[in-house]
Amino acid sequence: MNILIELKNIFLENPFWQIIGLIAFLLWIIAFLHKNDKHLYIRIMIAQFFWVIHFLFMWLYVWAFVNIIWLLRSFVALKYKHIKKLIFIFLFLYFLIWCFNYNNIIDILPILAWILWTFAFLYFSWLKWRIILLICSSLWLIYNYIWNSIWWVITEIFMLIAWLITIFKLIKYKNEI
């Protein structure tokens, strides 16, 4: 019961940014349930736009910046897959962010997830893409659990379920896609 009261208080601090975050979360989940990569990337970019707004209103500028990079990465993945220069640019940006935000050994998990996500977005598609992102969500789940981030743990649990459902659908209906 205390958790519900605490969640209500967190929500009431600023319902506007919480609603934007909820919209971003729902768009994120909906995007990742799609089998078609092109539609998936477009929906991801829309969700990431809402994440940027959400983090800007929360004054979390690093996460807003990271989501801008993710939005750009999604656009690049949609238009320019397999261009090595672009991959190295994204990896360099992630490394810089990681260097400025490094606190302890646990902070390696996000950089591993970012690297895997970047390769997944820019080099892989279909089933391999989702399997790599399943691994990334697992890394984020561990990281968020260690830091007691309730909402991101819930997000990653939903993501893991979404990846598993999508992987199952892709395997089951592979001849129809």
Q: How many domains does the chain have?
A: 1
* Domain-located, residue 105: yes
Residue 113: per-residue pLDDT: 86
The C-alpha atoms of residue 168 and residue 12 are separated, in whole angstroms, by: 39
Q: What is the DSSP string of 61-89?
A: HHHHHHHHHHHHHHHHHHH-TT-HHHHHH
* Domain-located, residue 150: yes
The model scores a pTM over 0.85: no
* Domain-located, residue 72: yes
Domain that holds residue 44: 2-172
* Domain-located, residue 156: yes
Residue 177: per-residue pLDDT: 46
For 140-153, what is the mean pLDDT? Answer: 75
Mean pLDDT across the chain? 80
* Domain-located, residue 177: no
For 162-167, what is the mean pLDDT? Answer: 86
SS3 26: helix
Residue 46: per-residue pLDDT: 92
- Closest C-alpha among 30, 58, 56 to residue 43: 30
pLDDT > 80? residue 133: yes
The C-alpha atoms of residue 167 and residue 147 are separated, in whole angstroms, by: 28
Residue 129's φ and ψ, nearest 5 degrees, are: -60, -50
* Domain-located, residue 141: yes
pLDDT > 70? residue 20: yes
Q: Which two tokens stand for residue 158?
A: 């939903």
Instruction: Pick 96 or 153 by higher pLDDT.
Output: 96
* Domain-located, residue 65: yes
pLDDT > 70? residue 175: no
* Domain-located, residue 121: yes
